[in-house]
Amino acid sequence: MNEIYASKPHQNAVSAASTINAVALSTFQLVLALALQSPSAAGNARSVDRLLPFYRGTLSTLDRSLYDLFLRIERTTPSSLSPLLRSWNPSTDSSTLLDGTRIGALGAVRKPFVRRSWLRAFASSRIAYTAEEDEKTYDPRFIVAFVLALVEEDDLKPQEWTTFLESGVLGTVVAALAASDDGLRTMARATLALMSKKVDVSCRVSFVVPSLSCTD
């Protein structure tokens, strides 16, 4: 896979990450095919660095395939990929430059995509959705995992708590409590439990979290 990443077509595709052209799609298909056939090929953390600029966190076919690949890579590497995924950029505008932090990414999320993820978090697997709907809906699996890493690893300032709450992703976490997938429900419970502890500690040291009352 290193040879693929070093190839000129892939470099050109990365430089135009805001649009997925035929060359980029063929590159992804080849990378994903190799990863599915060879765990050792998938276990290359460089894959995340190279492919993350194309990942928008939605339920589109491409994004689902990329996220499944990220999970496969994590299972075959000794360390978590969470630090790499903090650089996720949800914007489709190539001119949007983020600061590489999780809270910065949440400040750039598309609110309609977030709201649709609320419904999909607990939706029945028997309900069919169109490809267009999937492309405009964030993947609850990724959003809940992203929020868990944010709460677990990042020390948010007061104004950053405001950004977090205004992004709407907390709604996805709450909705995931009713998910049919056991893993997603467990992750949602862990996220909310950890967040509750952090808010409680903040209140004890007289740190007022915007939009949350320590006396409620």
Residue 7: its pLDDT value, please?
46
Choice among 91-100, 138-147, 151-160 with the minimum mean pLDDT: 91-100
Q: What does the mean pLDDT of the chain come to? A: 79
pLDDT digits (tens, 9 = 90+) for 61-93: 889 988 988 888 787 776 677 888 888 989 766
CA distance 114 to 171: 8
141 and 124 within one domain: yes
Choice among 85-89, 144-148, 185-189 with the minimum mean pLDDT: 85-89
179 and 142 within one domain: yes
Question: Taking the C-alpha atoms of 108, 106, 52 and 12 in order, what is their torsion angle to the nearest 10 degrees?
Answer: 10
Other beta carbons within 10 angstroms of residue 194's beta carbon come to: 14
User: For 109, how many CA atoms within 13 A lie in the half-sphere containing its CB?
Assistant: 32
Among 60, 85, 110, the domain-final residue is 85
Read off the pLDDT band of 127 (50, 70, 90): confident
Domain count of the chain?
A: 2
201 and 99 within one domain: yes
199 and 92 within one domain: yes
107 and 4 within one domain: no
205 and 139 within one domain: yes
C-alpha angle 125-106-102 in degrees, rounded to nearest 5: 105
161 and 183 within one domain: yes
111 and 26 within one domain: no
Name, of 25-34, 100-109, 121-130, the range with top average pLDDT: 100-109
Please give the residue range of the domain that contains residue 56. 1-85
Residue 68: its pLDDT value, please?
86
Name, of 46-50, 73-77, 116-120, 152-156, the range with top average pLDDT: 116-120
Among 46, 63, 85, the domain-final residue is 85
Residue 210, pLDDT above cutoff 60: no
User: Taken in order 195, 201, 207, 211, is the CA torsion positive or negative?
Assistant: positive
183 and 80 within one domain: no
Residue 134, pLDDT above cutoff 80: yes
Other beta carbons within 10 angstroms of residue 126's beta carbon come to: 6
Residue 147, pLDDT above cutoff 90: yes
99 and 46 within one domain: no
Among 85, 119, 148, the domain-final residue is 85
**Which amino acid belongs to residue 114?**
V
35 and 128 within one domain: no
Residue 164: its pLDDT value, please?
95
Residue 188: its pLDDT value, please?
97
Task: Kindly give, in sequence order, each residue whose CB lies less than 8 Å from that of residue 90, ignoring residues fewer than 6 positions away.
Answer: 56, 57, 105, 108, 109, 110, 113, 138
The phi and psi torsions of 26 (rounded to 5 degrees) equal -65, -35
Residue 12: its pLDDT value, please?
46
203 and 158 within one domain: yes
Residue 151, pLDDT above cutoff 80: yes
pLDDT digits (tens, 9 = 90+) for 18-44: 455 566 667 677 777 776 666 565 555
